[in-house]
Structure formats: structure tokens, C-alpha cells
Chain A
Amino acid sequence: MARLDQLDVMSRKILAGKMKGERRSKRRGQSVEFADYRNYVIGDDLRFIDWNIYGRLDKLFLKLFLEEEDLSLYILADVSKSCDYGDPSKAMYIKKVAAALGYIGLVNYNRVSIVAMAEGIVAETGAMRGRKRVAQMIDFVSQLQPTGASHFTESCRRFALAHRQKGVCVILSDFFIKEGFEDGLRYVAGGKYDLFAVQVLSPQEINPDLQGDLKLRDIEDNDMAEVSITQPLIKQYKSNLNAYCLALKDYLTRRGATYLFSSTAVPFDTLVMNYLRERGLLG
């Protein structure tokens, strides 16, 4: 907790908050902190003309000042059945990370919303601000249980419709979406959100240790796949996994989003304290 207190959610984009928070908004407003210059046009307030530059360049420039605003932090946690897998469990991992991010956002007076998605949005905290909401937030997260299949596209659509305020959006999921992740991410990537997608997989999914002739049952939809585990099959699976992750990363990157891969074997605090800071989500 003490270590999380030192972090704050960062946004690479200049996002307008509804209230004046502790975040230096990238919107240029009226504050004491100089931000930038622009050319003077008729009607601007003469008090903000920088006379030093006029004296040097014999041109009129207007000073701009940063305005401190609050940041909306949306945490989308995948609570579909597919996350109830692995050792350590992906669901538990996602909840921990969501709780950590939620705490950081709350203690820094950001507007935090935690959305649980599975078959659509199954639960949501609503916007919360302030430290006093931490317990509520943690309580909410701890009660989340993996359930249902994953309808990622629908969940993202509903989220985008319900949350028009710009902000930082963190999706915590395994992104094993049979319908494809593109349609869902389209709603949240490349637009008003500063999107961070954290793909969480268990070690058993990264390096499956299966043997023999198996009937693989999909935990979400009970789909059966009969396989005879062989070295080539494992190799092909890993190749496909790698390609899938790369495709996801590529899709997100093209749309200005950030992709981060993590295994549940990595301690969640390492993910939060190190990896998310490196990627610019936290600072």
C-alpha cells in the first residue's frame, strides 16, 4: 500500500476531466504554471502577452497556462470463466492488479471506475474518487467471481456507450476471444481513451504441460477439442500463441494503445510497480 501511494496514474494523452483534480490537465487554462505560447489574435487578453518576446522578436505571443484537472481511470476486468484457470489463477491476478490500480487512482483523486466484463458488463462500481472509496473498491473487486462466457465486443460497446468521459482505460484480460478482439477493441482503442491492454496468461497456457491423447474442454463454452499431444502440436500451439499475442499487440499499437503481456507467475506488484511504470501507465 505504501508503495502504491507513491504512484499515480499517468496519461499520455491530454484528457479533459470534469473536475479540477490533482492531475495537470493538458488543457490550457488559467493556472500559474506556464505551458506554452501562441500567436496573438485580436480579442485575446492583453495581460497574457509575453512582452519579452515582443521586445526581441517584435511579434506578439500569448502565454498559455496548464490547468489541473481530475483523470478518469477505467479498469475493465475480465471476469469470464476463461480467467478462472491457471495456477496462479488468472482471475485472482486480475483482481489484484485491478485493486492496485484502483487504489492508486483513488488516492490520487482520480475518478476510478471498475467494470467487470464477461457476458457483457456484469458489474461496475461507478465513478469513485478519494481515498475513502478504497475500501468500497476493494470490497467490490474481491467479490468478483469468474462467470459466464466472454462477450468482449458487446462488453466494450456497452462500456464505450456508458462512459463518454475520456480517460485512461486499462483492460485486464487474457484476450482469448473466439469472436476476435478487433471488434471489441475498436470501441475503446484509438479514441477518447488512453488505452492500456494487459494480457494475463497463466504458466499453463504459456507452456502447456499436457501429455497423451486428450479431450480438451473449453472452460467457458465446453467446446471439445480432441488432441494427441505431441511435440509438434505443442510447438505449433506456442507458435500460435506467440502470433496471437503479436497480432493483439500490433492491433493496439497501431491505434495508439499500449500492450503489456504478463504471466500470473510474475508477482502482481512487479507488474504494477515496474512494468506498468515502464509503460507509462503509472508514474
Chain B
Amino acid sequence: MSGLPTFLNPLTALLAAGMVVPPLLLLYFLKLRRREQQVASTLLWRKAIVDLQVNAPFQRLRRNLLLLLQLLLLLLLCLALARPVVHYTPSPGKNTVILIDHSASMSAVETFGAANTSRLEEAKRQARNLVDAMGKDDRAMVISCDDSAQIELPFTTDPQRLKTAINAIEPTDRASRLKTAYKLADAQTAFNPEQLRSGEMDLPNVYLFSDGRVLDAGELRLRGNLFFTPIGSSDLPNVAVVALSAKRNYERPAEVQAFARLANYGPDPVEADVELRVNGEVRGEATGELGCFLYPERWDQAQRDNYQKIPGHLPHKNSVTFPKIEIFSAAVISVRQIPRGPDALAADDIAYVVVPPPKSLSVLLVTDGDYFVEKAINSMSLKHPDILSPAAYEDDPKLGHPITYDVIIFDRYQPRWLPPVGNFMHFGSIPDGLPVVAVKEQGQNVMLSRPGVLDWERDHPILRGLMLNRLFINEAIKFQIPLPAAVQVLMQGYKGPLMVLCRQDRCTHLLVGFDVVNQSDWPMRLSFPVFMHNALEFLALGADMDVRLSYAPGSTPRIPRVNLQQAGVPDRIRQIKLDGPMGRKTLTVSEEGGDFVLPALDKVGVYSLDPPIPQFEKIAVSLLDANESNLMPQTLAPGGIGQTATGRGKAPWELWWWIIAAAGLPLLMIEWWIYTRRMHL
């Protein structure tokens, strides 16, 4: 037990004391009403009184002793009325598992008691208190958990080691999932050799110190007795960047457009300014009216409506767009929300994306001559649109290199071979080996006559904004799709699919089942060049041109062996240095084949590799997690498993009945005895 008692009803006690103590004092100090008693003579009584006054100090004390005892009794009763409680940490039990959440939300800083500290520090403090309450032979282990779980210390009876393990837990920026942690706790206690030897089958007590913001609450299972200690308060202000995207203009690759969305997880509306930096240099600001005004995410529609009725209210604005940012080289774009007031969590105030160097698409058109397609390609700002005849295509050895062209367009030609990696458009032909095959009869493709466009994927990036219902198609290849799961139909005709998108291994194929030039009027329509632009843009996502979005904290990026080889790893260089918010790490790459997996990137920030690996020169890690940014702790145990402990895992122990039973009753008996027996000291 620790700490001084606190009082649940102090005012009641003070009021009671004020009401009863003065009358008691008044009674004692008023002249006593004496009963008249006749005696034969007062001669000897007076002498006795005089003689007794020789011991005056003791008599005065005797006279006041009853007063003192009664005062003490009254004060004890008043103290009991005040309901003193002492919070103590009950013994955790013989086998205890201590789970400490060190996910991103646990880094929120708030006031606990008199100190400002992070939730993780408070959780560690309460865990240490729990260790202090352990009995002599009690065992405990420590597991830290975020989106994974790690045993910090296996079962031990040594409280000092437990505390050291608890203190060593560092915060991460990861999300929070408990499934693995619960499984780990179950596994450890089920296979604890001590339990098996002693024959004890008591379920362990699992103490979870967390804010309860987990993503897998519905999947949790635990055999032990769970005690959940919620950490944190629900009124913390926090504005977070919850989405960030950036996009190069393929027409003008040096221009990048960035879009950010914010969210307010605090209790009150806030204004937030947004700052965009490119490689650390401020390149854009959205402040004042251009900034954001964020209603709290916790508000329901009624609250929002009520707020909007307030005169002079600002409307909800939670996104910012930076339209034209000129970036001529590779860069790291960071978008930071600048809070105008306190902000509890710093990790979600900034997000990063990595922008590769601008690069024009390299496109190869394999055709025997197609005016419209050539014109469409030439009208785009492509690096160098190459045009080859089919024969030249088949003979060109350079085409075996997987990254020569970003997109290869086969116009009415079925190639005999394809690069192992690439993006391809096929007009009026279907290569072999794809999950889409042409229906053949007698070795010839079955054609659909005037299939007409029934419907198309209006939301797909390739066909977004296009009107194709009046498209005339004279005939189109009849598709057969043995594996529908691997194929996406983009355009459906009355008689069958007309345009499909499929992926196979590391290739993306856009199959247009008709000859756009000779069998349709599409090139005459405005939608054709737009389609060409969209298709090339979409297929170029697989190319080294698009913005690389950030990884979530805890991710382990996988670097393809091909990329390593491009950097000369591991042929010439056996080690890679990883720099970032977690410090510098030296990684050794195996000579054996296979992709290389980086260690978990736990902290938000930008990591760099040395030597630079293509497409992985910079790796951005951003939180962008609404669940972790929402700092409102859960009051109930995650998944409804277990019970919630109040305070710091402490139970209140009311003392009032102890006061009455242990102190008040004996005092009352002493006072009665003194009164009746006329005792003196």
C-alpha cells in the first residue's frame, strides 16, 4: 500500500465536525447542573475536596479526560464520514504477465498527477508498481506490444530484473494489435515448466497497460485473467495528417501536385496551418484562410449542425492541395501540420512521400503503321516514342532487357515473346499465355460483329471521364476468361468483353479486343487520345516514375533482387547502411538469390540506403493512422476480454469501517469505563 489516504467526502466530515464539536465543548465548559444531595455535614466533604486539590494537575486532567476522549471519538466519526480511502496495488498473483503497449498513441504526452509525461512512461510506472506488489514467490514476465509482440523478459521472480525490462521498453510509431501479444502470453504461461512441475493449473493474470486503441479487438482470445488498465485521458488535443498523396504531371513531369488531409481528434474545433517542404525547404504553406479548420472527429452530425448555427463560425475544411510544385530531381516531400495550440502526439503531425526524379515515359509502338495511334503517342510528352515493325521487334535483342520501355504497345500484332517484366497494350490481339484467351474456331479468332458498348468501368483510371456508349465497333475478338479472378473487364459489349486488364507475374496487359483504327471510329473521337493518355499513365505506375507513398511504421520493405543488382549488391558490395530516425544500421546482404527484406522501420521519418538502391534510395515512413491518432482511450478492455482496473491498477480500500471498528469502538468502551468506574490516571 502506498500513499496517504484520500478522502471521498471531506466536506461532509468538515460539516459534521462543525456541527458536533462546538456543542460538546460548550457542554463541558458550561457550568454543570448538579443534583442536590443532603448530607449530615459538609465538614469532611470540604476537607476531602481541599485535600484532593493537592493533586490538582491530575484532577484537571481527569476532569478533562472524558472531554478529550469524547472529542477524539467525535473526530474519528467525522473522519469515517469523510470516507478515507487508500489506493493499494493488490498482489498480482502467482503468475503474472505484464503487457505494455508501446504503439504510436502511447507516445502522447499528457498530465499524470503533477507531471507531464507520455502514456508509455505512465504505463511503465504503473507496471513497476505492480511489480512492487508482487509476493515473494510470485513470477512475472514482461511483453511489449504494438502491432507485434516481443518478450522483454521471460518469467522470473526477480523484481529488479522485471523493472529493468520495463524501463527498457522504448516507444514506437507502430499501430496497435494485441492478437500476437495475447497468443504470446497464452503460450508462455501454458508452457511454463514451473507450472507443469508443480501441477499448478491456475490461469495466469495478464495485466495490460494500454490506451486500448487496438485494431484487432474483435479477434482477441485469451485464456488468462485479463486486467486492463486504461492509460490516458479523453480530452487531449491532437491534429494529425491522416492522408498524403503526391502525383507528377505526366505531361509536365517536373510538376508535382500534393494533397494532404488532416483530422482533429481533440475535443474542440481547431485551426491548423499546413506546411510543405521539399527536401527540407519550405515550398508551400496553407495558413489562415487557406489552412484547415477542423471539427472534432468525435462530433456527430447534430453537434456539427449546432456549431454551424453559431454566427461567424468557420466551415469544416480538412484538406489542402499544393497544385504545382516544381521538383526537377528526386525529392522527399514532407507535409506538416503546424498546431496553433497544444498537440499531444507529434508523430502524426508530419507525413512524407518520396518523389523520384522526373522521367518521361519511354514507349514502344510495335505496328505496321497506325496513324492515329502514332499521332496519339507523338502528341504526349514522352521520352522518345519508338516505333518498330513487328519484324524488327522480334529481332531486337535489346528488348530482352526488362526496363528498356515503360510501355510497349502492340498494334494488331501478337508478339511471339514478351519481356519478363513490363507493361503492355494490345490492340486487336491477344498474346499467348495470359489468363485471357481468344476464342478460336479452326485456328482463327472468333470475331464478334458489331458488339456495341454495353458498359464500361467509369471509375477506373483508364476510362475515367470517358463517354463510350456511342463508340462504334465493327468487330472485336471474342474473349474467353478462364480465370476471372485474374482479369478485370474494363469495357463490356453486348456480346462479350471488349477491353480487359490483366496482370501476370510482373507484367500488366491492357487488352483491347478490336482494331481501333480499322474496326472502330474511336480515333475520331475525343475520348481516344484521353484514353491513350490515361492508359499510359496507368500502366506507368509500374514504371519508375510515380511517387512512392510512405510505408507504415513497422513495415519491412522488400527490395527486389533486381534492384539490388542494379546497385551492384551483393556482387561488389556486401553491406548496406540504413540511416534514419532509428539511427544507423549496417545490413549484410546474402549472396543467395531472393529479395532482401529491410528490418522493421519503427519510427516515422525518412530512411536512406547507402549505396542507394534504385527505387529505394529514400524510404518514407509516416503514421497516417487514424486509429493511432485518435487518442481517446478505451474504458473497457479490448475485445471485451477481461476487466478494467481503475486508477493505477489500484483498488481503493475504504478505511472508515476500520476507523470505527478498530479505533472508535475501543475508544467508546474506554470512555464508558472511565465514566462509570471514575478512574483516574
Binding site for B on A (CB under 8 A): 82-83, 85-86, 90, 174, 176-178, 202, 205, 208, 210, 212-220, 223-233, 236-237, 239-241, 244
Contact A176 B38 (CB under 8 A): no
* Residue from the list B41, B44, B59 in contact with A220, Cβ < 8 A: B41
Given contacts A217-B36, A226-B34, contact A232 B44 (CB under 8 A): no
Flag the segment in B48-56, B172-180, B495-503 that touches A.
B48-56
Q: Does B416 contact A (CB under 8 A)?
A: no
Given contacts A217-B39, A231-B678, A244-B44, contact A225 B34 (CB under 8 A): no
Contact A212 B35 (CB under 8 A): yes
* Residue from the list B32, B35, B38, B49 in contact with A233, Cβ < 8 A: B49
B645 to chain A, nearest CB (A): 56
Q: Does B47 contact A (CB under 8 A)?
A: yes
Given contacts A214-B36, A233-B48, contact A178 B680 (CB under 8 A): no
Contacting residues, chain B, for A226 (C-beta < 8 A): 34
A83 to B39, CA, bound (A): 10
Given contacts A214-B34, A226-B34, A231-B679, contact A237 B39 (CB under 8 A): no
Contact B40 A228 (CB under 8 A): no
Q: Does B29 contact A (CB under 8 A)?
A: no
Q: Does B62 contact A (CB under 8 A)?
A: yes
Contact B41 A178 (CB under 8 A): yes
* Residue from the list A210, A219, A227, A231 in contact with B40, Cβ < 8 A: A219
A122 to B43, CA, bound (A): 23
Contact A213 B40 (CB under 8 A): no
- Of B38, B45, B52, most buried by chain A (CB within 10 Å of CB) is B45
Contact A225 B677 (CB under 8 A): no
Q: Does B37 contact A (CB under 8 A)?
A: yes
Contact B52 A218 (CB under 8 A): no
For the complex with contacts A205-B39, A233-B48, 8 further pairs of A-B residues with Cβ separation under 8 Å are A90-B40, A208-B39, A214-B34, A219-B41, A220-B41, A231-B679, A236-B51, A237-B48
| Main SS class of interface, A | mixed
A229 to B59, CA, bound (A): 12
A232 to B40, CA, bound (A): 21
* Residue from the list A82, A174, A215, A236 in contact with B35, Cβ < 8 A: A215
Contact A228 B63 (CB under 8 A): yes
Contact B47 A240 (CB under 8 A): yes
Contact B32 A213 (CB under 8 A): yes
Q: Does B46 contact A (CB under 8 A)?
A: yes
A2 to chain B, nearest CB (A): 34
Residue of B nearest to A237 (CB): B48
Q: Does B301 contact A (CB under 8 A)?
A: no
B45 to chain A, nearest CB (A): 5
Residue of B nearest to A229 (CB): B678
Contact A215 B47 (CB under 8 A): no
* Residue from the list B37, B42, B47, B679 in contact with A210, Cβ < 8 A: B37
10 A–B contacts from the bound complex (CB under 8 Å): A205-B40, A217-B42, A219-B39, A220-B41, A224-B42, A225-B49, A229-B678, A236-B48, A237-B48, A240-B44
- 8 shortest interchain CB distances as A-B pairs: A176-B41, A85-B40, A236-B48, A237-B48, A215-B34, A230-B678, A225-B42, A218-B42
A176 to B48, CA, bound (A): 14
Given contacts A228-B63, A233-B49, contact A241 B44 (CB under 8 A): yes
Contact A232 B680 (CB under 8 A): yes
Residue of A nearest to B680 (CB): A232
Contacting residues, chain B, for A236 (C-beta < 8 A): 48, 51-52
Residue of A nearest to B46 (CB): A225
Given contacts A230-B62, A231-B680, A232-B52, contact A237 B45 (CB under 8 A): yes
Report B658-681 CB contacts with A as 1/0, cut-off 8 Å: 000000000000000000011110
Residue of B nearest to A180 (CB): B43
Contacting residues, chain B, for A177 (C-beta < 8 A): 43
B136 to chain A, nearest CB (A): 53
Given contacts A229-B678, A241-B44, contact A218 B51 (CB under 8 A): no
In residues 473-530 of chain B, which contact A (Cβ within 8 Å)? none
B184 to chain A, nearest CB (A): 74
A85 to B39, CA, bound (A): 7
